Chain A
Amino acid sequence: MPVEIPKDKWTGKVREVSFGATAADGGTRSKSIVVGGDTTLPYMQFEAPTPHTPVIAVEIKSRRPEDWSTLLEETWGDAMNDPASWAKAAEAAGADALVLWLTLADTPEDAVKATKAVLAASALPLMVFGPGQVEKDNELLVAVSEAAKGEKLVLGICEDKNYRTIVATAMANGHLVSARTPMDVNLAKQLNILITDMGLPANRIIMDPTTGALGYGIEYGYSVMERLRLASLQGDGMTQFPMMVTVGFEAWKAKESKVGTGVPEAWGDWKARAIHWETLTTTALLESGASIVVLRHPESMKRIRAAINELMAA
């Protein structure tokens, strides 16, 4: 019985956004990364090919984190002691891009130093994120943005409370912003409007709609991302941005990943569980529309890489 496959016909398209400047573009990166350009729901390749392979970025910190799971400490080892060696290790582990996450303890000088060290240690395209406190983010990111002018970094966290400063410095220094909103379609749209109104070209915005980890609100992030992709395909220009999610950050703060003792026996083997937590969360979010996933564990990276290859091969 010949079955006629129903194909969606969309009018909208997610914008193509590229970050990381090569020498040809006035930067020092070994390649630029392009995300977005989608004209269908994720991986509906019988309608149109998925234009760009989703990106696996790895989170590294400007100084050795105190509160990371020992599983992560075991795997990264001494590389965690400084951002340059960590960047190298992340690249060796197969990262497509790096996210340098600054801390509250950093001064602007520290932040610039860490950024430069990472840029020198690895030629992968780079995103630099502030610790998530508005004034501190502004202070650190402006310094970083100026020091790395022309590298086409992605600067975050750019949210409703500090977007003016971050967007202004991104515009002045040729960078992109990662526009973060707390799991809400309208808030995401609104922030994109505010940012584009300031004059930042729309192809320099990546959306971070945020998410909860598996067991901690993933369903909200999942549905918000599905709705954002649907809206973009339906032609809503202020949702037509590629999406990134900081899955590693969310998954590794869940108790299931973070700790191995004092938990129910039914949770099973700690390490395997922690990796599952990160990979299952990532899988669901890739399939709801994430173009960039920021991970923490090399084993998760490997498994997600294999999954992405299968999804792209369809």
Chain B
Amino acid sequence: MALTGIEIFKLLPGGQRPPHPKANCKECGIPTCMAFAMKLAAKQVELAACPYVSEESKTKLAESSAPPIRLITLKGPGSSIKAGNEVCLFRHEKTFYNKPGLFVRVKASQANIAAEVAKADAYKVNYVGMDFTVDGFAVEADTLSGTSDPTKFADAVKAVRSATKRPLILVAKDAKVLEAGAAALPGETPLLYGADSANWEAMGDLAKKLNAPLAVCADNLDTLADLTDKLKGKGLEDFVIDPSSTKLGASIAKYTQIRRLALKNFRALGFPVISFACNAADEGIAAAQAIAKYAGFVVLDKFVPELLYGLLVLRENIYTDPQKPIQVTPGIYEINNPKPESPVLITTNFSITYFAVANEVEGSGLPAWLLVCDAEGMSVLTAWAAGKFDSERIAKAIKGFNVASKVSRKRVVLPGHVAVLSGELEAELPDWEIRVGPREAVDLPGYMKTALNN
């Protein structure tokens, strides 16, 4: 937790007992050490401006200003992914910042590794104007099926690397096997997975040597904290935590406990969490929980586009800043080269609503004018209920964007959810024909082909 001004003051020359000879020397450009401490607490000055802070105080101040959940970055030759730096338990308190990376698991014994990885690597899906992809791959040595062979693991890592430039997670219980895999990734920062009570020393040495983040695994928080603590003793700083539960009930409890402890500045658990949703009974549900409840990395069993798409959308939704509704600019949008006789469709400036409508109309091939009203970034029904999408606003938009100058047939289509507005809108726009469209965007093409086609 950040220190208060008074707490900082005690670490400055003027706050030491006895006071440092340079106390209140003004060299920092501030009249007193106390005033400097206050400004430091308010982040208005840099600690470096005082030349007389002791080394011990510097360390304490640096520790106190470190984020409660350490930022961990994994790097591949083509992209990187970050986790950590989160500051709250509930997204409405502020926002969630670093979207959990979605990784696809590859087993070293698997056939056609490069081809499978290439398929997942090429995956790209568009959601409300944004392109989403997988974030990386987890290569797993097959320890379960017996011994794991460093050469085979290294070959698998090479095969994966030949098909993707994204960051990797290397999974093995034997440090020698991991080392062989990591040797195939010069200059990268993979996640090493992982250290447990049995192998932590060897894993720690390897992580130190490779300067890579290390996952620690245990099924209870005491052991996890123990492990990071002991490994810190080896000079390591970058960890990822795996609470190793595959059941939803245990996971939600542990993940929440870790996030709570981290936010209370319990440093031993102040790291991103990794979820192996791939090991749960229902990987989709486990991954959904992990995304909403605090995971920094999520490992999926296979590349399954229909699941991946849903999870990518969920992640985007949960990590949307709740303070900023996603909006599109109000105005009149042309779809499929509308002509003067084309209809004017009305919707709100909530981007999900806008994209749903625009995509349908575009897909139908039918020309239309799409009038996007300023409804403060809310969907049709929500905006209407909140009084932000009424006949007055719609009429104002029609006049304001001079829609009449674009069309020969003055015809507007209201979303079906606000059919009740048609009477009032007729009163506002006496020379316009007011039509009521379907409630859902998906039904627009059918409506435009039939009801509007006269």
A3 contacts B221, C-beta separation under 8 Å = yes
| A220 CB–B CB distance under 8 Å | yes
User: What does the 1/0 interface line of B341-373 toward A look like (CB < 8 Å)?
Assistant: 000000000101000100110010000000000
Q: Taking CB as reference atom, which chain B residue is nearest A262?
A: B363
The answer for the CA separation of A312 and B253 in the assembled complex, in Å, is 11
B313 contacts A214, C-beta separation under 8 Å = yes
Q: Taking CB as reference atom, which chain A residue is nearest B125?
A: A266
The answer for the CA separation of A67 and B382 in the assembled complex, in Å, is 23
Q: Given A223-B322, A226-B92, A268–B248 Cβ distance below 8 Å? A: no
B431 to chain A, nearest CB (A): 29
Q: Taking CB as reference atom, which chain B residue is nearest A230?
A: B90
A268 contacts B307, C-beta separation under 8 Å = yes
| B3 CB–A CB distance under 8 Å | no
A223 contacts B269, C-beta separation under 8 Å = no
| A24 CB–B CB distance under 8 Å | no
Q: How many residues of A contact B (CB 8 A)?
A: 62
Q: Given A212-B379, A223-B322, A273-B309, A306–B92 Cβ distance below 8 Å? A: no
Contact of B382 among A183, A288, A307, A314 (CB under 8 A): A183
Contact of B314 among A214, A223, A227 (CB under 8 A): A214
One of A84-92, A171-179, A278-286 contacting the partner? A278-286
A217 contacts B310, C-beta separation under 8 Å = no
A287 contacts B247, C-beta separation under 8 Å = no
Q: Given A268-B307, A269-B306, A259–B442 Cβ distance below 8 Å? A: yes
The answer for the CA separation of A313 and B311 in the assembled complex, in Å, is 25
B309 contacts A67, C-beta separation under 8 Å = no
A2 contacts B282, C-beta separation under 8 Å = no
A1 contacts B229, C-beta separation under 8 Å = yes
Interface residues of B toward A: which range? 35 or more
| B288 CB–A CB distance under 8 Å | yes
Q: Note all chain A residues with C-beta closer than 8 A to B221.
A: 3, 5
| A46 CB–B CB distance under 8 Å | yes
Q: Note all chain A residues with C-beta closer than 8 A to B359.
A: 255
Q: Given A214-B317, A218-B314, A219-B320, A44–B288 Cβ distance below 8 Å? A: no
A3 contacts B225, C-beta separation under 8 Å = yes
Contact of A268 among B288, B304, B317, B363 (CB under 8 A): B304
A216 contacts B352, C-beta separation under 8 Å = yes
Q: Note all chain A residues with C-beta closer than 8 A to B61.
A: none
User: What does the 1/0 interface line of B149-187 toward A look like (CB < 8 Å)?
Assistant: 000000000000000000000000000000000000000
Q: Given A67-B443, A212-B379, A258-B442, A310–B320 Cβ distance below 8 Å? A: no
Q: Given A1-B226, A1-B268, A46-B257, A215–B285 Cβ distance below 8 Å? A: no
Q: Given A267-B309, A276-B284, A314-B250, A219–B90 Cβ distance below 8 Å? A: no
Q: Note all chain A residues with C-beta closer than 8 A to B252.
A: 42-44, 287, 311, 314
Q: Taking CB as reference atom, which chain B residue is nearest A272?
A: B306
Contact of B288 among A219, A226, A230, A283 (CB under 8 A): A283
| B264 CB–A CB distance under 8 Å | yes
Contact of A284 among B124, B261, B314 (CB under 8 A): B314
| B29 CB–A CB distance under 8 Å | no
Q: Note all chain B residues with C-beta closer than 8 A to A266.
A: 123-126, 305, 309
| A303 CB–B CB distance under 8 Å | yes
Sample 21 A-B pairs with CB under 8 A, ordered by A number.
Answer: A1-B222, A3-B221, A45-B249, A182-B386, A214-B313, A214-B317, A215-B313, A216-B356, A219-B322, A222-B318, A223-B92, A273-B306, A273-B307, A276-B284, A276-B310, A279-B282, A283-B285, A287-B252, A287-B292, A307-B285, A312-B249
Add 11 more A-B contacts to A2-B222, A216-B356, A268-B309 (CB < 8 A). A6-B260, A41-B256, A219-B91, A265-B305, A267-B306, A268-B304, A268-B305, A280-B314, A284-B288, A310-B247, A314-B247
